[in-house]
Amino acid sequence: MQPWTDPGPASARWAPSTPLSEVPAACQEVLQAYLEQCREEFGGIDPLLETTLDALADFILGGGKRVRPTLAWAGVRAAWEGGGGHPHDGDNEGGVPPQAYLAAVSSLELIQACALIHDDIIDASDLRRGRPTVHRVFEKQHRDHSWHGSPEHYGISQALLAGDLVFAWADDMLTDSGVPTRHQVRARPAWRAMRTEVIVGQQLDIAVEARGSEDVADSLKVVKYKTASYTATRPLHLGASLGGADERTVDLLCQVGQQIGTAFQLRDDQLGVFGDPAVTGKPSGDDLRTGKRTALINSALARGTAAQRTELHEALGSISSDADVERMRKVIIATGAQDHIEDTIHGLTDSANTALHNSWLHSSIIDELVGFASRLTNRRF
């Protein structure tokens, strides 16, 4: 990959104090420019790669909350706003432009793209954000051209490789971002841990589902590695390290990230049962219909009476009507599991907020990070 070039107006406007709220739109612009650069450099290899690049661009640019880049930027700003780093601490006297950090944190969305593409294959999902999943796009291409072999196998094979490709490009994007080399070296442990944890977390999720585990501890281990570390802990860790944060700030943000990330996933578990499909974009009671053993479901099984457990066991994975969903919701509420998970979410969020407010960081980044965490853990989508 050629060295990173200026991705456009958002990059030019980027400043050390740019609010977290501006990350999603700027990240979108940076990703679009980066994918265009990849197309210019590699698109001529074969027309096949044009199809791959089209599918990846549609997938990556077609939606998403950009949570991980936002939290990584929060980590950078925390380093610069009381955390021991400085925005002009570059490899030369002139420092490094802040847009280099925008490029660096945006690379997390390429890791996320890989994770989602592979997750859709594992779950045999047809749609993602209302659009065909990447493996279904390739499957349709095979079927439309009446090629040899299985369209399903072709789609899965090409999507696996497309996911691997953006996983590799994430490394390139970070390396070529322009962030000082010594800060990239400090950030490598966070980057390595994040990549390993998200893959191991997915493996744990598959194994827990296959075993039919009803142990809440197993569910929470999946939450920790598949979601909490990958979604919040490591992005904050990565951003803080890139920004030159001192050790106590890195430790603080890792602690806060684990709490926010866990609460984020537990909220997702609540929405998987009690969410409004008009808001979530998923079927009503989706986790009940699929029989997924989330922390909420396993808490209900652990807390319920014998009769309630029997009712849940009989229904999970075999629900076909909204009436059945509503009946199981009432059973879960009656076990006390919904209230327990809700209390846990609020407790984790409050603990993270308290740690931030009691810290040495500047009030500007504390207030923004607390507000963002609150929106994540209290969302309805």
Give per-residue pLDDT as tens, 13-59.
888 999 999 999 999 999 999 999 999 999 889 988 889 999 999 99
Distance CA 245, CA 77 (A): 9
Strand runs (DSSP E) across the chain, as ranges? 127-128, 131-132
Residues 7 and 119 in one domain: yes
pLDDT (mean) for 107-112:
98
Instruction: Give the SS3 label for residue 186.
Output: helix
Rounded to 10 degrees, the C-alpha dihedral 338/339/340/342 comes to: 90
Q: What is the pLDDT of residue 86?
A: 87
Tokens read off for 78: 């925390």
Residues 161 and 199 in one domain: no
- Residue 158 reports pLDDT greater than 80: yes
Residues 233 and 133 in one domain: no
Residues 114 and 247 in one domain: no
Higher confidence at residue 11 or residue 138? 138
Q: What is the pLDDT of residue 43?
A: 87
Residues 229 and 271 in one domain: yes
Distance CA 28, CA 257 (A): 23
Residues 237 and 222 in one domain: yes
- Residue 92 reports pLDDT greater than 50: no
> What is the DSSP code string of 19-47?
-GGGHHHHHHHHHHHHHHHHHHHHGGG-H
Residues 262 and 313 in one domain: yes
The string of pLDDT tens digits covering residues 211-220 is: 999 999 999 9
- Residue 332 reports pLDDT greater than 90: yes
Judge whether 342 lies within some domain.
yes
- Residue 3 reports pLDDT greater than 80: no
pTM: 0.94
Question: What is the average pLDDT value for the chain, to the nearest integer?
Answer: 92
Domain's final residue, options 131, 157, 176: 176
* Number of folded domains that form the chain: 2
Judge whether 91 lies within some domain.
no
The band of 5, judged by pLDDT with boundaries at 50, 70 and 90, is: low
Q: What percent of the chain has pLDDT over 90?
A: 80
Residue type, 8: G
Q: What is the pLDDT of residue 128?
A: 85
The band of 7, judged by pLDDT with boundaries at 50, 70 and 90, is: low
The string of pLDDT tens digits covering residues 286-331 is: 889 888 899 999 999 999 999 999 999 999 999 988 999 999 999 9
Residues 326 and 359 in one domain: yes
Distance CA 201, CA 217 (A): 14
The string of pLDDT tens digits covering residues 127-154 is: 888 789 999 999 999 999 999 999 999 9
The band of 97, judged by pLDDT with boundaries at 50, 70 and 90, is: confident
The residue segments making up the domain with residue 3 are: 1-64+108-176
Tokens read off for 238: 């990565």
Q: What is the pLDDT of residue 102?
A: 96
Residues 302 and 323 in one domain: yes
Q: What is the pLDDT of residue 290?
A: 87
The overall longest dimension of the chain from CA atoms, in Å, is 71
- Residue 9 reports pLDDT greater than 50: yes
Judge whether 28 lies within some domain.
yes
Judge whether 103 lies within some domain.
no
The band of 277, judged by pLDDT with boundaries at 50, 70 and 90, is: confident
- Residue 249 reports pLDDT greater than 80: yes
- Residue 256 reports pLDDT greater than 50: yes
Tokens read off for 314: 């009989």
Judge whether 295 lies within some domain.
yes
Q: What is the pLDDT of residue 302?
A: 97
Residues 256 and 158 in one domain: no
Residues 136 and 208 in one domain: no
Residues 165 and 206 in one domain: no
pLDDT (mean) for 144-173:
97
Judge whether 77 lies within some domain.
no
Judge whether 71 lies within some domain.
no
- Residue 190 reports pLDDT greater than 90: yes
Tokens read off for 369: 């990070």
Distance CA 337, CA 339 (A): 5
Domain's final residue, options 135, 153, 176: 176
The band of 6, judged by pLDDT with boundaries at 50, 70 and 90, is: low
User: CB of 98 within 8 A of CB of 185?
Assistant: no
Domain's final residue, options 143, 176, 209: 176
CA 120 from centroid of its chain's CA atoms: 14
Judge whether 80 lies within some domain.
no
The band of 8, judged by pLDDT with boundaries at 50, 70 and 90, is: low
- Residue 239 reports pLDDT greater than 80: yes
